[in-house]
Every structure is written in C-alpha cells, then in structure tokens.
Amino acid sequence: MRKSLLGATSALLLAANTAVATQTQPDVEVKTIPVAGSVYMLEGQGGNIGACVGDDGILIIDDQYERMADAVRAALTALNPGPLKFVLNTHYHGDHVGGNEIFGNEATIIAHENVRNRVTVPQQRGERTVEPLDPAGWPVVTFQDKVKVHFNGEDIQFIHLPAGHTDGDGIVFFPKSNVIHMGDLLFSGRYPRVDVEGGGSVDGYLKNLEWVMFNLPKDAKVIPGHGPLSTMDDVHAARDMIKETSEYVKKLIAGKKTLEEIKKAGLPEKFKPFDWQFITTDRWIETLYTAYSK
C-alpha cells in the first residue's frame, strides 16, 4: 500500500512539474524573418515582434508573453550579440507586453501614456481581472503624439493613432529601411479585434488604417500585429473589409434585423477568408452590431 501511495504521489508530482514546465517553457519556435535594411520580424507566440539590429545594439517592438522571453532572447542573440537597448510597446495587451517584466530590467521601455496607465493598474475584462505588470515592466518613457528614437542609423518614428484597437495604439515607421510595424492595427488577412473596453472603436480603427494609407510610403514593408509579413496592399484590404462589412451590418440594423438574424445570415462570401479562430465571423458581426446599434 505504501509503495502504491508513493508511486501515485510521484506520478502526480511528475505530472504537476510537467504542466508547470509546459506553461513556463513552451516548446514554441521563434522564427526570424528578414524584412528590409536593419529590420527583422520575429514570429512566436503572441504578437509579431519587430527588431532593429546594428552597431548600436538591439531595439524591439513588442515582446510577446513573459514565458517566451528566453526563446525571444535566443533569436535576438542569433541576429546580434549586442545589448538590448529599447523596447517599444504598440499597446497594452499581454501578448505584446508580457515580456516587459523580463526585458525591462535591461532596456528602456517606451510607449504611449495610455499604455503605461493601463499596465500599472488592474484591468477588468468582463468578469476577469487582469493584474498589472510588475514595475520592472512599466514604460519609463511615455509620449502623447509621437517620439523619435535615433538608433542604428534610423530616425525611428513612433506615432500614436487614437481610439482604434485600443486607446494607446502606436505604429512604428523606419524611414531608412522603409518598414512599418502596425501593432494590432493590422491583423493581416483576418478580422481584427477591437478592444472597446480598452478604448478602441471600429470607426477609429478604420480611420487609422486610412491614415497609414495616405501618410506613409505605398511601397513600405508592413509588419502586422498578427499574420504574415505584409505590404500596403494588405492595409488596403483590411480597410476595405472593415468599411464594407460595417456598411452591410448598418443596413441590416436599419432594416430592424436583430443580432441573431444578422449572425444567421452571415456576411457576404467574399469575406469568408477573414474568419479565424480568435475573431470568427459571428464575433466580428457582434463587434459591428455593438458599434452601430446604439
């Protein structure tokens, strides 16, 4: 009996340790993709990371989850053994800022003021409360409209665009390399998430895409928050999809259709490729209905 209990206890401990190891050390490959000039894109688990590497060291845009820090660091070291100097946060979501608590001990974190406001206090997400980041992960340099970082021969422009995905969205433009990191203002080829609780809006998201289209180079390479390396054509496609699906749902709302009736009817077939596991067609319809039924 004693041996059986010991065996069972050992098995439970092994299972528990395995579960913890899986949570803290995910077997997720971080893939490095050259973009242009000194800029690379890192794909792993969470939002896409932008990396600028050169003689000055390393600057990254977003840093995924905390549990991905070792894998991200290994990928960065393979690109450049120099020091990590800056982390730019495009917004406050955990899949983009979770690594702050690790990398903030060695690099300067820069973000819009609203990002700092949100990561320093608990955030209510429906019935769930998201705890604030440890102070090591708080942005120490904040801005209102835009800021420049002169690094690795680039005059990097960090620009705030208001009330789109969240209320703290920032895009990053590398003029020399001609690269834009969009953060979650671009879910390339997918329906986007609009975080209304985080200050976002559908109309604002649409206007921000149009701002990028009309104010930044049409031949720029584009790093989306989620999805493959993109171009300005993908920004156009996202703008067109949001504009057309918004008008479609507005007309149905004007015709006194309920949310359930609109979901049952669905969206035109041409938008089916935008459906994905996180923001399905039904969830996108819910987003539009909430935005325009008031």
In the prediction, which pLDDT does 169 show?
98
**All residues at 6 or more sequence positions from 276 whose CB lies less than 8 Å from its CB, including other chains:** 190, 191
2-235 has which fold?
Metallo-beta-lactamase; Chain A (3.60.15)
The CA distances from residue 231 to 37, 178, 221, 228, 234, in Å, are 16, 11, 5, 10, 6
- Does residue 89 contact residue 172 with C-beta atoms inside 8 Å? no
In the prediction, which pLDDT does 208 show?
98
Residues of the chain with pLDDT under 50: 1-24
In the prediction, which pLDDT does 26 show?
57
Encode pLDDT of 173-196 as tens digits. 999 999 999 999 999 999 999 999
Q: Which two tokens stand for residue 128?
A: 């769930």
In the prediction, which pLDDT does 199 show?
96
In the prediction, which pLDDT does 4 show?
42
Q: What is the number of residues in the chain?
A: 294
In the prediction, which pLDDT does 63 show?
98
In the prediction, which pLDDT does 157 show?
98
